[in-house]
Structure 1
């Protein structure tokens, strides 16, 4: 339908208006903002390249009066926080655009006047993969002077790591060095994000409104319509357990030290859709025995009513489904040290770089702290000191094109002993125990950075030791079902061939059918010397270079430490052709910018 005559002429062909209306009508709020950023990125890339002027270019009113929100997210938390701010800004009448960091053209930074960065810190001080280029540009020598920029930073992190919120802190300080003016002080949010993010968002929005002084209210792209229940992080779907099978050797000679489960969940009736590379989010529940032990150690009653954050519920309910008990956080340990007066805890907390605390906390849970250094707690103070329970994300090990309304997972059951007592990971333990009569609260966490090539003729190289192989099971299923003609090469590793070769029969069938062209294996405990996937990568350097130079996409999934080792191995491989380490770094960075080198690390 053509636009009303009263409106000014549109800068798009008349025939495109209907197509645009149909497209936007099918998108939710997040999709509309993603489309806005995607279109802005296309426009920036297609614009004629002009030599940089000697002085800053004059901005038009639209640019000067716009709020740009850029987010760098590894697990979706920064994206959600940015989307909430964008929704609030739009409702307040501010012209706003929101972009993922790798879709933001860094050359536009010089022209920005109002910028908000929402950035997560991955692991111990690293930027999320989508924010690496922006991070390096702002910290590097090519960053421009930014005297006309007003900015704000919301940093997300995990206080269990020594370099808490390091990425947001560094960029906040660097922007100030470049002459920019803060709209509001940086917010440093721990895993209980909203405690910091909500008041920070209010301050940032108030400051932006004052600075921008909008002259007109922005009309939303489409009116909000009331739809049926949409399952997401805040409204998870109760998924029935269809299968729960151990896929490592449980007993006998050569039994595996790992309990890895293949779990199948039903999404029937949920309306949930996922793409290969996406994750399934699970809202876990703490084990009843652990909750009983916490109550005993703290000498508190489970039926004691506790009011916190606008909710009132019995203490047992708080501990069962609302508080982290299997991961230690520095604020809780600090509060317990103060109450107990324990000298060892205080000395540990006083350590400067935090590495000793991180190693100590990795091997302990809340119950261990309560038992080793008794202290007097009241129910309300304990709930306030513990972090809110967070969902756990698992790479989906299936293609919906193949399995329909199901999602498959490969889950390593985290289980160990501490002082003779069993300790478990909260979500993996729940999944390991789940039976056919159980349902689990789940949602889909999209991972747009970890997608199969749009061009099905492109080759793919998949590096996934241990349960990091999960998304690649979905990749191979998808490529076979869709008739993709690109080649598939898998690198897989684990301790032992006999007990730990996950999905062995499926990979063998895929090789036989041609769905998988090549597989390289590394079993670290089967020989005199430990062999990991990094070793196989270096051994296959020439073939890897040939694949990469012919357009292959490279994917890495698994633990952070493994990802760093694989990255170093890939640098060694690329350096053979690039002429040195520095050139290899630039080459891998370029592949990442092109979307041909993607990592999903945890």
Structure 2
């Protein structure tokens, strides 16, 4: 048997199947497992005999079906989930389907003509997923494959319209495949954070084009093939509860972690999973379905001079919809374009021009929808017209800060509460203030589990790991350490943690020091930026340990980063690149290739936001 437990990520089994098999195997003796292996071999042979009895005509018909390659690049799992949905829908229509991660897709894959369905996300403001960086560079570099119109494609781009470079990576791949000579068979679909319905429409439309294009005989019905429940959830024990049908989890505790004198507010929140059947692994996240601040909703309605009970259809009323259905804070380009048309304000129209892009970005910074309404008022607008350009209120994802093995009926979160003031208004994070101000112990919070296959502990418990998690980025590493303690893992563990002040911001200090005392946490390096005149961050601590970090990597260590993706993750990446370059005697290109190989081998994983 492979080292470590069976998982859906290291076997062809679903998560639920792997869990049941692990439980069954744990109760078997060596003799029983030997007998079972022979029994399973016999069953396999019977299956082979049965398969061999298929008619040559059926086998030929199967091989004659056209192949579709579903190619994906995914950071947190959303793009992979859509790709799995596309795979299942294509199979239901009778296609042969091959699903491929961009991390494993190279130039040689393009030697024969392909029928491609490309699903890729954009990280932050215009970056490819970590595992897709190598493929992105290949396709946009001098070594890119020369394609012909026998290679067909369509692209689904996932992104967030609050970013300036919305869906940039999908747009880049769409343009590049065409420039290399491939034939676009359906227009690119750009999907915002509420992507499910748009993704389903794209899948159906592209597959219908492939049926027409290839003359394939549909082997199934499209009805129900593109269900909104992600395929990743359908294959797991968590299929009942998801973002549109969350579990109501009772709040067991909400403890302020930050101490006296801190200028930050960080909460440790414990939620009950009792009776839910929900399971998770270290590295997964909890999706929380929040509500908007009622005071902000009322301010918005008053400013628009609307009736809170205005009908929106299907029994929905304006105030209720603004509380729980629509995003009413974050500014997106679609909303600004909509408001520009409604207000006909010359200044807003000017800001929306392409040449004013940088000025618009600066103007948006720190402002919300209410500021646009205040600056560019529209008289007599009705509720339906206003909500038409609002996007759905998306769930917020929080890295799980506990191990299911250590606390199976609970899930823990580490939440930094967002509060600030800009342009004369007090602001707050939608979900963080919901959790901190309006939810108390005994209340329930709507949640679901969001699995992240790209942020996982090594399968081999003897593998060393290095974790970099400043601030609330400590959350998944608390789960990692709990899990390794429960499993009796022998692999060494090294944590870099940083925050502002030792006395007030050393999150989970007692637990971390206890793990170090037990020998579970072999090394702990901390950086408290405000405790001395010159600020010190985790990347400086890494540079102080250059030799040891490189030695750990050479010995097979996995390297993890969690936290701020805008600055911290980039600084840590640069420090790691310098360490590899200097200690390995490599030039810049070779050092970058070293890190790409780590990423492709799932030995360098990031959970950044």
Structure 1 range deviating more: 381-390 or 83-92: 83-92
Pair 1:257-2:263 in alignment: yes
Question: Helix, strand or coil for the counterpart of 1:241?
Answer: strand
Q: How far does residue 194 in structure 1 lie from its aligned partner after superposition?
A: 4.5
* CA deviations over 1:451-479 (Å, ceiling 9, x no partner): 11111111100001111111000001111
Question: Helix, strand or coil for the counterpart of 1:498?
Answer: helix
Question: Helix, strand or coil for the counterpart of 2:605?
Answer: strand
Structure 1 range deviating more: 548-557 or 141-150: 141-150
Q: How far does residue 352 in structure 1 lie from its aligned partner after superposition?
A: 3.4
1:239 to 249, 253, 257: 249
Pair 1:590-2:591 in alignment: no
Report the equivalent of 1:486: 491
Q: How far does residue 22 in structure 1 lie from its aligned partner after superposition?
A: 11
2:412 to 408, 413, 416: 408
Question: Helix, strand or coil for the counterpart of 2:352?
Answer: helix
Q: How far does residue 343 in structure 1 lie from its aligned partner after superposition?
A: 4.1
Q: How far does residue 85 in structure 1 lie from its aligned partner after superposition?
A: 2.6
**Aligned equivalents of 2:252 and 2:113: distance in 1?**
51
Question: Helix, strand or coil for the counterpart of 1:245?
Answer: strand
Aligned residues: 541
Report the equivalent of 1:365: 368
Q: State TM-score, norm by structure 2.
A: 0.84
Report the equivalent of 1:31: none
Q: State TM-score, norm by structure 1.
A: 0.85
Report the equivalent of 1:303: 309
**Aligned equivalents of 1:381 and 1:312: distance in 2?**
17
CA contact 1:300–1:378 (8 Å) conserved in 2: yes
CA contact 2:121–2:159 (8 Å) conserved in 1: yes
* CA deviations over 1:309-351 (Å, ceiling 9, x no partner): xx55101121011110121112212322333344443333225
* CA deviations over 1:352-393 (Å, ceiling 9, x no partner): 373443343341222222223322321001111111111110
**Aligned equivalents of 1:70 and 1:262: distance in 2?**
38
Structure 1 range deviating more: 515-524 or 91-100: 91-100
**Aligned equivalents of 2:65 and 2:346: distance in 1?**
55
**Aligned equivalents of 1:84 and 1:424: distance in 2?**
35
Report the equivalent of 2:122: 121
Report the equivalent of 1:430: 434
Question: Helix, strand or coil for the counterpart of 1:111?
Answer: coil
Report the equivalent of 2:51: none
Question: Helix, strand or coil for the counterpart of 1:560?
Answer: coil
* CA deviations over 1:517-542 (Å, ceiling 9, x no partner): 11111111111111111111111111
Structure 1 range deviating more: 323-332 or 209-218: 209-218
Q: CA RMSD in A?
A: 2.6
Structure 1 range deviating more: 143-152 or 447-456: 143-152
Pair 1:555-2:560 in alignment: yes
Q: How far does residue 113 in structure 1 lie from its aligned partner after superposition?
A: 1.9
Question: Helix, strand or coil for the counterpart of 2:355?
Answer: coil
**Aligned equivalents of 1:360 and 1:75: distance in 2?**
30
2:350 to 321, 329, 347: 347
**Aligned equivalents of 2:238 and 2:155: distance in 1?**
35
Report the equivalent of 2:327: 324
Question: Helix, strand or coil for the counterpart of 1:289?
Answer: helix
Q: How far does residue 128 in structure 1 lie from its aligned partner after superposition?
A: 1.2
Greater than 6 Å deviation, 4+ residue runs: none
Pair 1:143-2:169 in alignment: no
CA contact 2:366–2:423 (8 Å) conserved in 1: no
**Aligned equivalents of 1:239 and 1:172: distance in 2?**
41
Q: Note the residue ranges of structure 2 that are not aligned, 5 or more in a row.
A: 1-10, 19-60, 226-233
**Aligned equivalents of 2:165 and 2:346: distance in 1?**
24
CA contact 1:280–1:442 (8 Å) conserved in 2: yes
* CA deviations over 1:15-71 (Å, ceiling 9, x no partner): xxxxxx99579569xxxxxxxxxxxxxxxxxxxxxxxxxxxxxxx984871111122
- Higher RCO structure (Cα 8 Å, ≥6 apart): 2
CA contact 1:409–1:470 (8 Å) conserved in 2: yes
